[in-house]
Amino acid sequence: MEVYDDEESENTDSKKRPDFQPLTPEDKAPKSQWRNWHLPVLVLFILATFLIINRRNSNAPYQHNEGAVFGTFYHITYQWNKDLHEDIKAALQEVDQSLSMFNPESTLSRINSGTSEQTDSLLNSVVRLSLLTSEATGGAFDITVAPLVNAWGFGFKNGTQPDSSAVDSLRQLVGYEHIHLTEDSRLLRDDPRMILDCSAVAKGYGVDQVARLLRSHGVENYMVEIGGEVCVAGNNPKQDKWHVGINSPKDDADAQSNELDTIVGLTDCALATSGNYRNYYTTADGRRVAHTIDPATGYPVQHNILSATVVAPTCAEADAFATAFMVMGLQRAQEVLTHHPELQVYFICDSLGKNNVYSTLK
């Protein structure tokens, strides 16, 4: 407050100053008078822009893309005002260039061959997730199990069966605790003969990468599916949850059966299934050899879980835990689930030739 003497007061009264003087940016008056009307206008402008964009997106058509990747097929549905397939293919190619064992120029292949130790951001992320899952499952999930998988006729499918001495020898090259990520993103192996195989999580990670791409464009409603691994958000074209089928585990090495055990409604989560009912072979003496190898024993698993479906926040997590639960069996899997409330499962188990379901789906 300013104080005027009588003479100044008389001069002031005679000039009759207005109550409010318009301000210009050159004035040194408080900025609050500018804010009094600028901020509401700015807020209204932002709100109007958001509503216009949101209304435009809500009226956008659902796009449908499909193709082949990672030795399987993908199907992607999303609500957006233009087709993003080229961006999607580029994102999937980036994953393949990082994680593929069959691409000799991939980051993973260069590390396995010993020509490099440097990871990229994708492989670094996958290895970190894999190591965390390995610790959470007591080593049931292990991306170093490739030598055993190959020896049993899977992976690169050399078609041989190892004897006990070969299994014991190969087990020396298996163990997640023998690989290390450095601060400068190098991947070190205690034994250079160790081989890393990210195939048990690559499809799930690829799904997540496409989902991230869609979200970066502002897409809110989508379903991304690669080889049966799924990530969903928002609503389907009927403005309902996305409906995902879980296959009934029939002996089906040729992947011809599409019989469903159940259908679940999902949104804002991911789902992956692992099972031995398709990827197996039968020996000359009639024994069935499943592709899921226990890293601890070096042998194919023998227990009553026929398929393990996991719902998780990300598809990479769902993929990794589904593989681990197939190794662990029902009892050990239930123990892990008590420490991971973010996971939901749908296990189909064999009980004297009949299928029983253990489910925590909500």
pLDDT value for 360: 97
User: pLDDT band for position 258 (50/70/90)?
Assistant: confident
pLDDT value at 53 more than 80: no
Predicted confidence at residue 1, as pLDDT, reads 41
Report which DSSP code applies to 81: S
Q: Which long-range contacts (CB under 8 A, 24 or more apart) does 238-244 make?
A: 240/265, 241/265, 241/266, 241/267, 242/266, 242/267, 244/271
pLDDT at 27 > cutoff 90: no
How many beta carbons lie within 10 A of that of residue 253, not counting itself?
A: 12
What's the rounded Cα separation, in Å, for the pair 354 and 331?
19
Instruction: Tell me the C-alpha to C-alpha distance, in Å, between residue 344 and each of 121, 169, 235.
Output: 28, 37, 20
Give yes or no for residue 149 having a pLDDT over 90.
no
Considering only residues 50 and 124, tell me which one the structure prediction assigns the higher pLDDT. Answer: 124
DSSP classification of residue 61 = P
pLDDT at position 250: 74
> Is the Cα torsion angle 245, 248, 253, 254 positive or negative in sign?
negative
Closest by CA to 328, choosing from 355, 292, 289, 354, is: 292
Three-state DSSP at 32 gives helix
pLDDT at 282 over 90: no
Which tokens is 41 given? 């206008």
Question: 230 is written with which tokens?
Answer: 């799924």
pLDDT of 153: 73
With beta carbons less than 8 A apart as the criterion, state whether 270 and 285 touch. no
- The two structure tokens encoding residue 43: 């807020």
Cβ proximity of 315 and 208 under 8 Å: yes
User: Stretch 186-191: mean pLDDT, rounded?
Assistant: 98
Which whole number is the average pLDDT over 293-303? 88
Domains of the chain: 79-359 (3.10.520.10)
Burial 159-193 (b: 16+ CB within 10 A, else e): eeebeeeebeebbebbbbeebeeeeeeebebeeee
Q: Is the dihedral of CA 229, 321, 167, 190 positive or negative?
A: positive
Residue 73 neighbours by CB under 8 Å, 6+ apart: 66, 67, 226, 227
Cα distances (angstroms) measured from residue 311 to each of 195, 265, 272: 29, 11, 7
Q: Is the pLDDT of residue 52 over 90?
A: no
Please tell me the predicted confidence (pLDDT) of residue 203: 97
Mean pLDDT, residues 307-327 taken together: 97
Residues ≥6 apart with Cβ < 8 Å to 49: none
The length of the chain is 362
Report pLDDT for 36.
62
Q: Environment class of residue 358 by beta-carbon count within 10 Å: exposed (0-12), middle (13-18) or buried (19+)?
A: middle
Phi-psi region of 298 (alpha: psi -120 to 50; beta: other; left: phi over 0): left
Is the pLDDT higher at 27 or at 49?
A: 49
pLDDT of residue 163: 84
pLDDT band at 11 (very low <50, low <70, confident <90, very high): very low
210: which 2 tokens?
Answer: 């496409």
pLDDT of residue 350: 84
DSSP 238-290: TSS-EEEEEE-----TT-----EEEEEEE-SEEEEEEESSSSEEE-TTS-EEE
- Residue-wise pLDDT for 192-226, tens only, equals 999 999 999 999 999 999 999 999 999 999 999 99
Q: What is the pLDDT of residues 83-120, one digit of tens each?
A: 999 999 999 999 999 999 999 999 999 999 999 999 99
d(C-alpha 293, C-alpha 198), whole Å: 14
pLDDT at 352: 79
Spatial contact of 207 and 270, defined as CB atoms under 8 Å apart:
yes
Contact between 77 and 234 (Cβ < 8 Å): no
Dist. CA 55–CA 52, nearest whole Å: 5
Q: For residues 44 and 107, what is the distance between their CA atoms, to the nearest angstrom?
A: 49
